[in-house]
């Protein structure tokens, strides 16, 4: 197939799942190009350099005239709908979409796919209407729970909706009963995340993610302050860094904030760790995670995972490799970390082997992407 990824930004470091999926589609023989609103402010250095990427601009009057001649009714309908969409979100001028619409038609793109049900999904919806192509959207978490702008319309007008865990799928089907919703796990490549050295057998706890409320890292700092002989490393950056630094100093917690790191360094840190901590919470504005990709990366490397019993985490953080604690409860998190670290080397190895087997069976990026592609292929055949 000829596919167009419609994105808000490319290639964002914290959105490795987009790169993983695009590369899996290309391995399966599909042609994929990218249309992004902007270059990501924190680019992923591991993103492929040979992807055809087009950035949105202001557009030209020539392209707008071409679109108006070709699709006068669709253009008129778009202008009317903009009045409704504007009640909930900013709407890109039609002129900015005229050039992308022209290229879709001239290049023969068969299907549009948006990651995140925010601005990218609205762009994909409009371009699909203007060009007569079908579109799909992958909804993640923020776009479902914290900022569901025009969400029901986007879901129900999409030919297919994908999301990465049952927690999200249940919510989406409740919000938009008419939508064609599929659970497709945001997978990882088990070959890329294969352990090359034995488990270290120490007491190093690793956490990875942006320093924002929903990650629950303040809870991890409180829990770490209760533990003895541990080393807690947090990879990531974000607006809460200053507050976390003050908390760490005040509690004399054994926690290091190491800042944002490229994927290769994150993988190396996981190789050196004994436990991955993922203490997610539901933020006060409703924002939350779903099933973070880093959890599946750690599991593929045979790590034990200690996480909060929240969002999609209980779907993958299972016994014997998983330990769950009440979200926001630092005492419960400390107890779960103690229990995980108390496992002897043989128990850790057996638990890690079970975790990797789960990833290979349920979260292989090639297998999950092939499932998504099969849905899209059915849509393309029906449209053609």
Domain ranges of the chain: 2-187+365-383, 204-362
Same fold, 2-187+365-383 and 204-362: yes
pTM of structure? 0.96
**pLDDT, position 11:** 96
- Architecture of the 204-362 domain: 3-Layer(aba) Sandwich (3.40)
pLDDT band at 206, cuts 50/70/90?
A: very high
- What is the average pLDDT score of the chain? 97
- Condensed to tens digits (0 to 9), the pLDDT of residues 276-332 reads 999 999 999 999 999 999 999 999 999 999 999 999 999 999 999 999 999 999 999
Across 66-92, average pLDDT:
96
Show the 3-state SS of the chain. CEEEEEEEEECECCCHHHHHHHHHHHHCCCEEEEEEEEECCCECCCCCCCCCEEECCCCCHHHHHHHHHHCHHHHHHHHHHHHHHCCCCCCCCHHHHHHHHHHHHHHCCCEEEEECCCHHHHHHHHHHHHHCCCEEEECCCHHHHHCCCCHHHHHHHCCEEEECCHHHHHHHHHHCCCCCEEECCCCECCCCCCCCCCCCCCCEEEEECCCCHHHCHHHHHHHHCCCCCCEEEEEECCCCHHHHHHHHHHHCCCEEECECCCHHHHHHHHHHCCEEEECCCCCCCCCCCCCCHHHHHHHHCCCEEEEECCCCHHHCCCCCCEEEECCCCHHHHHHHHHHHHCCCHHHHHHHHHHHHHHHHHHCEHHHHHHHHHHHHHHHHHHHC
Inform me whether the pLDDT recorded for 114 exceeds 90. yes
Inform me whether the pLDDT recorded for 81 exceeds 90. yes
pLDDT band at 263, cuts 50/70/90?
A: very high
User: What CATH code is assigned to 2-187+365-383?
Assistant: 3.40.50.2000
Inform me whether the pLDDT recorded for 384 exceeds 90. no
- Condensed to tens digits (0 to 9), the pLDDT of residues 341-374 reads 999 999 999 999 999 999 999 999 999 999 999 9
């Amino acid at each position: 197939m000829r596919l167009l990824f419609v994105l808000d930004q490319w290639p964002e470091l914290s959105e490795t799942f987009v790169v993983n999926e695009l590369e899996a589609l290309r391995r399966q023989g599909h042609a994929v190009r990218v249309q992004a609103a902007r270059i990501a402010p924190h680019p992923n250095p591991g993103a492929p350099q040979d992807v055809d990427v087009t950035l949105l601009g202001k557009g030209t009057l020539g392209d707008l005239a071409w679109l108006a001649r070709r699709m006068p009714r669709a253009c008129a309908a778009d202008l009317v709908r903009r009045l409704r969409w504007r009640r909930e979100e900013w709407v890109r001028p039609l002129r900015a979409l005229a050039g992308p619409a022209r290229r879709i038609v001239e290049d023969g793109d068969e299907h549009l796919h948006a990651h995140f049900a925010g601005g990218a999904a609205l762009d994909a919806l409009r371009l699909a209407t203007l060009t007569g192509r079908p579109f799909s959207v992958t909804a993640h978490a923020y776009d479902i729970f914290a900022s569901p702008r025009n969400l029901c319309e986007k879901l129900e007008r999409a030919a297919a909706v994908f999301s990465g865990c049952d927690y999200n799928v249940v919510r989406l089907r409740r919000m938009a009963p008419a939508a064609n919703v599929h659970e497709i796990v945001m997978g990882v490549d088990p070959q890329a995340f294969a352990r090359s050295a034995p488990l270290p057998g120490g007491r190093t706890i690793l956490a990875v993610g942006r320093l924002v409320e929903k990650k629950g890292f303040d809870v991890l700092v409180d829990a770490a302050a209760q533990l003895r002989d541990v080393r807690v490393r947090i990879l990531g950056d974000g607006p809460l860094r200053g507050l976390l630094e003050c908390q760490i100093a005040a509690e004399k917690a054994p926690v290091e904030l190491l800042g944002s790191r490229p994927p290769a360094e994150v993988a190396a840190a996981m190789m050196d760790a004994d436990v991955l901590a993922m203490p997610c919470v539901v933020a006060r504005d409703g924002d939350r995670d779903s099933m973070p990709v880093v959890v599946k990366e750690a599991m593929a490397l045979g790590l034990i995972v200690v996480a909060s019993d929240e969002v999609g985490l209980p779907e993958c953080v299972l016994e014997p490799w998983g330990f769950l604690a009440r979200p926001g409860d630092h005492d419960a998190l400390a107890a779960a970390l103690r229990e995980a670290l108390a496992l002897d080397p043989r128990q850790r190895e057996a638990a890690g082997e079970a975790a990797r087997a789960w990833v290979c069976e349920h979260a292989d990026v090639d297998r999950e992407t092939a499932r998504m592609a099969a849905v899209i292929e059915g849509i393309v055949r029906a449209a053609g």
